[in-house]
Structure 1
Amino acid sequence: MSEKGILYTQQEARLFFDLLRPSPGDSILDIGCGCGDILESCIHKGLDSTGLEPSPVMLDMAFERLSHRANLFRGYAEDLPFDDNSFNHASLFTTLEFVSDPRKAIEESFRVAKDRVFIGVLNRYAIKGLQRRIQGFFGRGIYAKARFFTLWELKTMVRELAGDVPVTWRSICLFPEPGKPVSCSPDTWPLAQRMPFGTFVGMVVTLKPRFRLRPLALPYPSESRYKESLTGFAAETQKKYRKDT
């Protein structure tokens, strides 16, 4: 990875943890984990880490990198093979760009997480996002079939799927400096984190508690069984009541 790529990754990971704020021992599912960049950071933070990825090649790379330090599954973001509320947190880290149904992927992440969900996307309105879209238009690189999002689109989908839940977001803005190809602003320009046109937008959704209900069967004796069980004074009282009525 180039020096610029390492810089991007470090800043995105920092934003991820600043927004999500997981506690050591929390469980997290990284949906679309790729080769395991975020999973490795989660492991270093002491999280019980699980990754899901549709590409066997990427899964092999993640396993070589993480070995048995994380649970890895092959699957799709739109149909997660986990029960409701299986994890404290879930992450869609530059995943929505490459799924068939982004709305369904977000809905599934809300289903399996019980505390918070992180959604990180490459901003459609950023200059870098425009460059990626042009590359994709000409069929170049991994962005040939990618779909880019805006902050407003994410907020709309979240509200429609989860209702009026707390949402926190920040962005990473990259600015040129004299003698340097790029500079990341989050550490030195706090105001820039609130710019909706940043190169990378991270959002955390705090979910409302959800409970799965099931019918509870209560044993109740049938009328015939109740009659048969009456003895002594109770039986005489029942006979008298029936005779009077």
Structure 2
Amino acid sequence: MTNWTSKETVDKYTQWNESPAGVFALRAKMKLIADLISGWPRRGRRFLEVGCAAGRMTEMFYHAGFDVTGLDCSPSMLEAARELLGQRAEFFLGKAEHLPFEDRQFDYVGVGSVLEFVDDPEAVLEEALRVASRGVIVTVYSKWSLYYLSRNCSGADFADDRTWLSPFAVDRMLRNQVETGLFTRRSILLGPVCTWRDAPVCNWLNSSILPYGFGALSGVCIDKNDTKMTIPLMVKKCSAKPSILNACRTNLAARNSASTFDK
């Protein structure tokens, strides 16, 4: 399995995220998650991101309005996350299978692209559900996708030994552990990795929110207490998601411009 504590892995992860395909995939992931959590209240709500890596998604959750905490097993990743977010978030070193938190300590928990890299994904989900009082969101790259078929292409990924899961396997694991709750499922990134770039046809192909399991990245949002949307539909569609995404896109653009200038 991928050694997330090694500098080589961190460097490969950074290179992937700074590549055109990696930047495109990150924007798509933000769009998917913004869609899935658009009904969650945020002000004053505690959010834990399990597997926060270098903090780019943690930053999105911060801009969404949550009080954010990140956890990762890699000291190098946490160092990068702390550099990115400063005092805006708390960070902890630990394993997703054994979270160092009390039951229901957080309102919401996010598990993003972690299950593919652990020996016991069900333990990760059990821990996430344990420390979340209101809801959990899980994303996973699917083996039922054109991304999976193109995984051997040059530059297609930063980790070549992930355990590919089907979205329905993840859904089944969650169903085995959640007795009551409202499930929302979506996916994004329909095309293979060679189409993850800014071009009219590619944007049309990969930027639409899709039914669960159709895209490379699938997400499941669980409201543990059957909580309903607290944001009216028109506000959710017209205001909530764009405000989050615009803030994140501005930060991504600024970082990309800075990287280009440094080069």
Please tell me the TM-score bracket, short chain as reference: 0.7 to 0.9
Report the Cα offset of residue 166 of structure 1.
1.8
Report the Cα offset of residue 183 of structure 1.
2.5
Alpha-carbon distance change, 84 to 155 in structure 1, aligned in 2, over 3 angstroms = same
The residue aligned with 1:173 is 189
Tell me, yes or no, if structure 1 residue 163 matches structure 2 residue 188: no
Name the SS for the 1:88 alignment partner: strand
The residue aligned with 1:18 is 35
| Equivalent residue in structure 2 for 1:65, among 84, 88, 112 | 84
Offset from partner CA, 1:158-194 (integer Å, 9 cap, x none): 11111253211101033459x668335475x55xx11
How many angstroms apart in 2 are the aligned matches of 1:78 and 1:167? Answer: 22
Q: Which amino acid aligns with 1:183?
A: N
Listed as ranges, the gaps of 5+ residues in structure 2 are 1-17, 227-263
Name the SS for the 1:65 alignment partner: helix
Tell me, yes or no, if structure 1 residue 8 matches structure 2 residue 25: yes
Report the Cα offset of residue 106 of structure 1.
0.2
Name the SS for the 1:196 alignment partner: coil
Q: Which amino acid aligns with 2:164?
A: F
The residue aligned with 1:204 is 221
Offset from partner CA, 1:79-117 (integer Å, 9 cap, x none): 000000011100011111112210000000000001110
Report the Cα offset of residue 2 of structure 1.
2.8
The residue aligned with 2:163 is 147
Offset from partner CA, 1:207-230 (integer Å, 9 cap, x none): 139xxxxxxxxxxxxxxxxxxxxx
The residue aligned with 1:111 is 130
Tell me, yes or no, if structure 1 residue 183 matches structure 2 residue 181: no
CA-based RMSD of the aligned residues comes to: 2.6
Whether contact under 8 Å (2:186, 2:211) holds in the other structure is yes
TM-score norm. by structure 1 comes to 0.75
**Residue identity (%):** 30
Alignment of 1:16-95 (within 5 A): 16-21=33-38, 22=40, 23-95=42-114
Higher RCO structure, 1 or 2 (CA under 8 Å, sep 6+): 2
Whether contact under 8 Å (2:133, 2:224) holds in the other structure is yes
Q: Which amino acid aligns with 1:32?
A: G
Offset from partner CA, 1:106-141 (integer Å, 9 cap, x none): 000000001110000001110112333x47xxxx96
Report the Cα offset of residue 4 of structure 1.
3.0
Whether contact under 8 Å (1:20, 1:116) holds in the other structure is no
User: 24-33 vs 143-152, which deviates more?
Assistant: 143-152
How many angstroms apart in 2 are the aligned matches of 1:93 and 1:126? Answer: 18
Offset from partner CA, 1:43-64 (integer Å, 9 cap, x none): 1122100000001111111111
Whether contact under 8 Å (1:20, 1:117) holds in the other structure is no
Alpha-carbon distance change, 208 to 185 in structure 1, aligned in 2, over 3 angstroms = same
Q: Which amino acid aligns with 2:217?
A: F
The residue aligned with 2:147 is 128
Listed as ranges, the gaps of 5+ residues in structure 1 are 210-245
May I ask how many residue pairs the two structures share in their alignment? 202
Name the SS for the 1:67 alignment partner: helix
Q: Which amino acid aligns with 2:45?
A: D
The structure that is strand-richer by fraction is 1
TM-score norm. by structure 2 comes to 0.70
